[in-house]
């Protein structure tokens, strides 16, 4: 299979040349067609000039230049949509991922997997600010989504292009690529990869990304479970609120009739009205969500399923077959008369 390497770059001037040499030495030894696609995410340190020099030296290298810094997810999405290979490899441009892991990941693709994602088992980062938040985040993501994973934050991934181009990446969604691909029916596997300490430059991530990851996790959970039918979420919440409102109203009525309690000062009466209104709102949100989901799939010409393979010969229906299934006896008689007349003329 042909391979496209997608590398988002943001102010990695010292690492670009080393990154290219490492990739070139690994990829040139194989017999696969390859391209290296660098995405300049608004670099301000001269990285773009370095990247343009590489395009002049090697026709395997292509560069996408952003107008300004849009973020790693946007850079990865742009690289994926521009990639020409049958398999896409994504990796960081800071030399912490090791290009020598690429052949091993491609072998897994050749075995039949659709996506291979790395696990930095021996991660070379600071514990408090990088490794500990990652451990907690991966545990939480695994529990919420039900997807067994050790290291979703590892950028080094290999994915078939047909799967990668189906994914919609926004916000910080690049770290959820294996989960989104699994939701689309991809066969995924996690492999242990090497990890190196950063030599040049500074990390672009800190503890501030935790909130973004949590919010994106909520979005992913909604997408993989309720996108096709939002009413399953909002409808259940609406039913619960409606039930609470009904029970509160019944309790208020019983308290008034049986015990003479004042209804206007009873908090259960307020709870009844409030719960009923909230229930109606959730039902409305569910209906709007259902409408939005149908518009989403129809406008984008998408389907809530993904076909891996098709087998068998596709045969076209020809005119003679169509004649054999004419709906009425009169139509069949007219065709027989026409055939007899044609034979008469031919004679």
pLDDT at position 321, please?
A: 46
Average pLDDT over residues 123-142: 83
How many Å is the maximal CA-CA distance in the chain? 103
Q: What percent of the chain has pLDDT over 90?
A: 47
- Contact status, residue 190 vs residue 113, Cβ threshold 8 Å: no
- What residues have CB less than 8 Å from 98, skipping those under 6 apart? 22, 156, 193, 194, 195, 196
pLDDT at 317: 62
Condensed to tens digits (0 to 9), the pLDDT of residues 27-53 reads 998 889 999 999 999 999 989 999 999
Average pLDDT score over residue span 302-310: 66
Q: Across the beta sheet with 87-90, what order do the strands follow?
A: 61-65, 34-40, 3-9, 87-90, 157-160, 115-119, 188-192
Burial label, 295 (beta-carbon count in 10 A; 0-12, 13-18, 19+): exposed
Contacts of 174 (CB under 8 A, 6+ apart): 72, 73, 76, 77, 90, 155
Q: What is the pLDDT of residue 306?
A: 64
Per-residue pLDDT reduced to its tens digit, 222-249: 888 888 889 989 999 999 999 999 999 9
Query: Average pLDDT of the chain?
Result: 85
Stretch 307-314: mean pLDDT: 66
pLDDT of residue 16: 94
CA distance 24 to 217: 36
Three-state secondary structure call for residue 252 = helix
Per-residue pLDDT for 74 more than 80?
Answer: yes
Q: What number is the average pLDDT over the span 157-170?
A: 91
Beta-carbon contacts of 215 under 8 Å, excluding residues fewer than 6 positions away, are: 171
What's the whole-number mean pLDDT along residues 117-124? Answer: 89
At residue 262, the pLDDT reads: 77
Q: Is the pLDDT of residue 323 over 60?
A: no
Distance CA 273, CA 245 (A): 6
């Amino acid at each position: 299979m042909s391979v496209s390497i997608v590398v988002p770059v943001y102010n990695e001037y010292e690492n670009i040349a080393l990154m290219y040499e490492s990739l070139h030495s690994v990829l040139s030894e194989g017999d696969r067609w390859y391209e290296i696609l660098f995405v300049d995410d608004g670099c301000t340190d001269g990285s773009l000039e370095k990247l343009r020099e590489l395009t002049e030296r090697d026709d395997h290298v292509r560069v996408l230049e952003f107008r300004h810094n849009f973020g790693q997810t946007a850079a990865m999405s742009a690289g994926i949509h521009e990639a020409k290979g049958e398999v896409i490899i994504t990796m960081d441009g800071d030399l912490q991922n090791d290009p020598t892991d690429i052949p091993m990941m491609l072998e897994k693709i050749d075995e039949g997997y659709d996506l291979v994602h790395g696990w930095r088992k021996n991660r070379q980062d600071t514990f408090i600010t990088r490794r500990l938040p990652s451990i907690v985040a991966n545990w939480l993501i695994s529990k919420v989504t039900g997807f067994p994973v050790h290291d979703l934050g590892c950028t080094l991934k290999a994915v078939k292009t047909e799967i990668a181009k189906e994914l919609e990446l926004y916000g910080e969604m690049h770290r959820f690529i294996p989960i989104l691909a699994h939701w689309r029916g991809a066969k995924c596997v996690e492999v242990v990869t090497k990890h190196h300490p950063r030599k040049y430059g500074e990390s672009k991530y800190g503890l501030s990304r935790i909130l973004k990851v949590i919010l994106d996790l909520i979005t992913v959970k909604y997408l993989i479970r309720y996108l096709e039918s939002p009413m399953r979420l909002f409808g259940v919440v609406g039913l619960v609120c409606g039930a609470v409102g009904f029970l509160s109203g019944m309790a208020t009525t019983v308290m008034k009739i049986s015990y003479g309690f004042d209804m206007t000062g009873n908090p259960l009466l307020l709870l009844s009205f409030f719960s009923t209104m909230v229930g109606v709102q959730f039902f409305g949100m569910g209906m709007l969500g259902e409408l939005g989901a149908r518009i989403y799939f129809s406008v984008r010409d998408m389907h809530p399923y993904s076909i891996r393979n098709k087998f068998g010969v596709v045969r076209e229906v020809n005119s003679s077959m169509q004649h054999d299934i004419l709906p009425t006896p009169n139509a069949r008689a007219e065709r027989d008369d026409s055939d007899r007349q044609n034979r008469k003329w031919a004679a």
